[in-house]
Structure formats: C-alpha cells, structure tokens
Copies of this chain bind each other. A is one copy, B any other.
Amino acid sequence: MTDARRGRPRSDQADRAILGAAADLLTSVGYERLSVEGIAARAGVAKQTIYRRWPSKAAVVAEAVLAAQSGVAIAPPADTGDLRADLQEWALQYGLWLADPVVSAMIRGLVAAAVDSQTNATRLYDHLADPIRTAILSRLTQEAERGTLRKNADLDALIDAILGTMLYRVLSSLTDAPKPDLGGLMNILVDGVRAQ
C-alpha cells in the first residue's frame, strides 16, 4: 500500500507565511499591485511553494482573505428585547470594523479576486456573507417567534440590503474609510419589518 502522505510533509509555517504575506501586501499595496513573486519574497518562500498549494493568484488572495476573516468572530446582535437598539449597536460595531483600512482593503481584494475567477466567487461571497447572514437571522428569528415581525417580511431581502449597503460603501468610497454609519438604514429596515 502506498500511503497517500509519503515524503516530506508540507510546512505549516510556509502556509502561514504565505497567507500572512498575501494579507499584508493586499492591505499595503492593493490587489492590482500585488504579485505572487512579491508574496513569495515577503514570505521567504519559493514561488513554486505557493503554486503547489493554490492554482492561481486569485486563489491565494481568496484564501488569505478567508483566513484573516475567519479569525474575526461575527457575534450575533444581542437580544435585549429592543430589536432596533440591538441592530443599531450591532451595526455600529460592524461598521467600525469595516471602516478599518485593513478590512476595506481586504474586501476590495476579495472582490477583485472574485471578478478574476468566477469559479471562486460564490465560495468567497458565501464564506464571507454566511456568518453575517446567520448572525442577523438568528436575532430576527427570536423576534419573529415573539410575533413582533410581519408574517410575510422578506428577511433574506433585509439581509441582502445590509450586506449590499456595506459592500457598496466599501467599494464606492475613495478613501479607505467608508461611511460607517448604518443607523439610518437600520431604522428603515426595522420599521419596515416590524409588526404594526
């Protein structure tokens, strides 16, 4: 029997160095000026070591963004009984996270990578959006069970609106700091789904 894992195993340290270097360069120079050779140089790694793991530059960047984001816990909104206040507070925290230039640069890089390779686009958006979707949906579900939401409210559309607004502001802001205030949006959305 030939064991599937013979020979020298891949270095975990190389993995971390590559992803870390990719994240660093992404935030410092942006996706367009980021090169695989630059990643290799900064990581102290041969280019082949990168291509042995990922098939393309877009895939490396995608993985780096996911790895960096997976360290961030997406806490669901608190449940104080006041949906508006809970979502406002959550949006404030999340908006501040988005306003971080590092985070903005990463998201821009994610979008660029997704435009690059359609194959990974769905996976990327899913991995980034799903935690947020789950977090908000869990809070909305609590609310719905108390009967304080309209029965036919399209909660998916509501979440798309939150995600879309955040993405739009990140992409359309020239400076690295998008307008973080989602308070007005949350007011509209809460009033739009709340039982009358």
Contact = CB atoms under 8 A, between A and B. Distances in A.
Q: Which range contains the number of A residues in contact with the other chain? A: 35 or more
Contacts of A125: 171-172
Contacts of A189: 161, 188-189, 192
A79 interface: no
B112 A172 contact: no
Nearest to A184: B154
B174 A161 contact: no
Contact of A161 (B111, B156, B161): B161
Interface in A9-57: 30-32
B185 A157 contact: yes
Interface in A146-196: 150, 153-154, 156-158, 160-161, 163-169, 171-172, 174, 182-185, 187-193, 196
5 contacts: A163-B168, A164-B165, A167-B167, A167-B171, A189-B189
Given A157-B165, A160-B185, 19 more contacts: A32-B115, A32-B116, A32-B117, A122-B174, A154-B183, A154-B184, A154-B185, A154-B187, A157-B184, A160-B168, A161-B189, A163-B168, A164-B167, A164-B168, A165-B165, A168-B168, A189-B189, A191-B191, A196-B196
Interface of A: 30-32, 108, 111-112, 114-118, 121-122, 125, 129, 150, 153-154, 156-158, 160-161, 163-169, 171-172, 174, 182-185, 187-193, 196
